Amino acid sequence: MTSMGDDWLGLARGIEGLEGVGLDAGLVRRFQSAGAALPPLTFHLPAFKHYSSPELPSCGGSAWPAVSITGAECALNCDHCRAEILKPMLPATTPEALWQTANRLAERGAGGMLLTGGSDRRNEVGYGPFLATLRRIKDRFPHFRIAAHAGLVDRSAARGLADSGVDIAMLDVIGAQDTLARVYHLKRPVADFEASLAHLAATGMRVVPHVVLGLHYGQLLGEWRALEMIAPCAPAAVVLVVVMPFYASPARPFAVPSGREVGHFFLDARRALPGIPLQLGCARPAGRAKAEIDAYGVMAGLGGIAHPAEGAVELARKIGRELRLSPGCCSLGAGEPLDAVPGRPFPVKVVAHG
């Protein structure tokens, strides 16, 4: 058993899964000096994509899938994604298809689903025809959780999602006008994201904004402004994700964001949003970049990490964090005990190396 007095950098260097990862010594010292009374850490294993780890048991392939109401279609075709993120999702492009999909998932024991779809050219997702079906799903399966990526909304659209029974509303919050124009190809002001957050929060739904780090071609630009926009809404949690360069076109490439800069942003987010759970979501670069980001997330005191890199569990144990595991989306970590999440409990299994 370790204590807060142990040298975190030395502990990290002794973990096989973090071998070759160049952690910044000064940043690790800052994490350790700010690390008193770290919250419990939940590792989330939603079934959005294949995941396996020698440190964690499998939560099953259907525990928490992603469903798209537009299939692989998206009118915005943003430079960082180009609709590629939609392709592996379960398509449910009509209300009847969504009803059948939800029934199959619920009957197979899924605890819920992430619901999304491609945006139109105004960054709005066309949930209107599906709202009655969502209400029907929730009435039949009241414990089946629905976490929906809302897109930009007005007051009426936000109320429609709430009345349909959506449990969690998520929104990517972008704080730089240049990023909206160049990356999103969107002719709407940053203020529309702030207004959408307010509309969603006013419904009483659990709101979990997302901030994409490195969205401006791998550079951090509007992320700090996004934190300022989020703070007044008192969200249930905030999910931080890191742009994945491999979806981008060679004509408009994205750099891999600096792990050190991402780590510093974790500290900035903790200061800007005190008391609000911070989660590290599924989307982030692979390989050593992911291992570095996840190590910083563990040491920065984030409350949840989805699909953790190898070594993250052992590092969390070594620095004394209380560990939990969930088969659900990291947005479910919003102020809710894990034993309330449908599905069997998953004990954390830590594999020691060397």
What is the model's pLDDT at position 340? 41
Q: What is the pLDDT of residue 334?
A: 38
Of 143-157, 256-270, 328-342, least confident by mean pLDDT is 328-342
Whole-angstrom Cα distance, residue 221 to residue 214?
7
When the pLDDT of each residue in the chain is averaged and rounded to a whole number, the result is 90
H-helix or E-strand spanning residue 177: helix 177-182
- Answer yes or no: are the C-beta atoms of 167 and 149 closer than 8 Å: no
Q: Is the domain defined by 8-340 classed in CATH 3.10.560.10?
A: no
Q: What percent of the chain has pLDDT over 70?
A: 90
| Residue showing tokens 């709407």 | 188
Q: Tell me, what's the pLDDT at 343?
A: 42
Comparing C-alpha atoms, which of 209, 193, 31 is closest to residue 122? Answer: 193
**pTM score, two decimals?**
0.91
178 vs 324: CA distance, rounded Å? 39
What is the amino acid identity at position 69? I
Instruction: Provide the residue ranges of all domains of the chain, joining segments of one domain with +.
Output: 8-340
For residue range 276-334, list pLDDT tens digits in order: 999 999 999 999 999 999 999 999 999 999 999 999 999 999 999 989 888 888 887 63
Within a 10 A sphere around the Cβ of 241, how many other Cβ atoms?
A: 20
Residue 43 bridge partners (DSSP): 305, 325
Rounded Cα distance between 202 and 334, Å, is 17
